Amino acid sequence: MAEKELLLGDEAIALGAIHAGISGVYAYPGTPSTEITEFIQNNPLAKERKLHSTWCTNEKTAMEAALGMSYAGKRALVCMKHVGMNVAADAFVNSAITGVNGGLVVLAADDPSMHSSQNEQDSRFYGKFAMIPILEPSSQQEAYDMMGYAYSLSEDLKLPILMRVVTRLAHSRAAVEVAVIHEENQLNPDNERTHWVLLPGNARKQYLELVRKQKEMEESSSKSPYNCLENLNSEHDYEFGVIACGIGYNYIKEADRDDSHIPVLKVSQYPLPENEVRTMAANCKYILVVEDGQPFVEGMVKAFLSKDYEVKGRLTGTLPRTGELTPDNVSEALGREVKCSFGKSQVVMPRPPALCQGCGHRDVYDALNKVVTEYPNARIFGDIGCYTLGALPPFRAIDSCVDMGASITMAKGASDAGVFPAIAVIGDSTFTHSGMTGLLDAVNDHANITVVISDNLTTAMTGGQDSAGTNKFEAICLGLGIEPEHVRVVVPLPKNMEEITRIIREEIEYKGVSVIIPRRECIQTLNRKLRQKRADKS
**Which residues contact another protein by CB under 8 A?**
4, 6, 8, 31-32, 34-35, 115-116, 168-169, 171-175, 247, 249-251, 253-254, 326-328, 331, 338-345, 347-356, 386, 389, 393, 461-463, 535, 538
Q: Which contacts qualify for 502-507: CB closer than 8 Å, 24 or more apart?
A: 504/367, 504/368, 504/371, 504/450, 504/452, 505/371, 505/374, 507/450
Rounded Cα distance, 196 and 434, in Å: 26
Sorted by sequence, the CB contacts under 8 Å of residue 400 that are 6+ apart come out as: 379, 381, 382, 406, 407, 410
Nearer to another protein, 385 or 405 (CB): 385
Task: Please state the closest distance from residue 208 (CB atom) to another protein, in A.
Answer: 42
- Alpha carbon distances (Å) from 248 to 123, 296, 326, 445: 16, 13, 9, 50
Nearer to another protein, 16 or 246 (CB): 246
Task: Please state the closest distance from residue 475 (CB atom) to another protein, in A.
Answer: 31
Nearer to another protein, 33 or 409 (CB): 33
Nearer to another protein, 302 or 362 (CB): 362
Determine how β-strand 379-381 pairs with β-strand 75-81.
unpaired
Task: Please state the closest distance from residue 60 (CB atom) to another protein, in A.
Answer: 22
Task: Please state the closest distance from residue 348 (CB atom) to another protein, in A.
Answer: 5
Beta bridge partners of 487: 515
Task: Please state the closest distance from residue 44 (CB atom) to another protein, in A.
Answer: 15
Task: Please state the closest distance from residue 300 (CB atom) to another protein, in A.
Answer: 25
* Other beta carbons less than 10 A from residue 383's beta carbon: 28
- Alpha carbon distances (Å) from 148 to 17, 44, 139, 321, 517: 7, 19, 15, 34, 45
382 — phi, psi (to 5°)?
Answer: -95, -175
Beta bridge partners of 161: 105
Nearer to another protein, 1 or 199 (CB): 1
| Residue of 163, 169, 37, 162 lying closest to 115 (CA atoms) | 169
Nearer to another protein, 317 or 353 (CB): 353
Nearer to another protein, 98 or 141 (CB): 141
Rounded Cα distance, 37 and 115, in Å: 20
Task: Please state the closest distance from residue 389 (CB atom) to another protein, in A.
Answer: 7
Nearer to another protein, 210 or 461 (CB): 461
Residue type at position 319? L
Rounded Cα distance, 301 and 288, in Å: 10
Task: Please state the closest distance from residue 355 (CB atom) to another protein, in A.
Answer: 7
Task: Please state the closest distance from residue 527 (CB atom) to another protein, in A.
Answer: 11
Nearer to another protein, 168 or 213 (CB): 168
Name the DSSP class of 355.
Answer: P
Task: Please state the closest distance from residue 311 (CB atom) to another protein, in A.
Answer: 24
Nearer to another protein, 172 or 369 (CB): 172
Rounded Cα distance, 258 and 264, in Å: 15
Task: Please state the closest distance from residue 328 (CB atom) to another protein, in A.
Answer: 5
Q: Coil, strand or helix: which one is 460?
A: coil
Give 93-143 as a 3 state SS string. Answer: HHHHHHCCCCCEEEEEEECCCCCCCCCCCCCHHHHHHHCCCEECCCCHHHH
Is the CB of residue 223 less than 8 Å from the CB of residue 271?
no
| Residue of 178, 314, 166 lying closest to 250 (CA atoms) | 166
Nearer to another protein, 222 or 331 (CB): 331
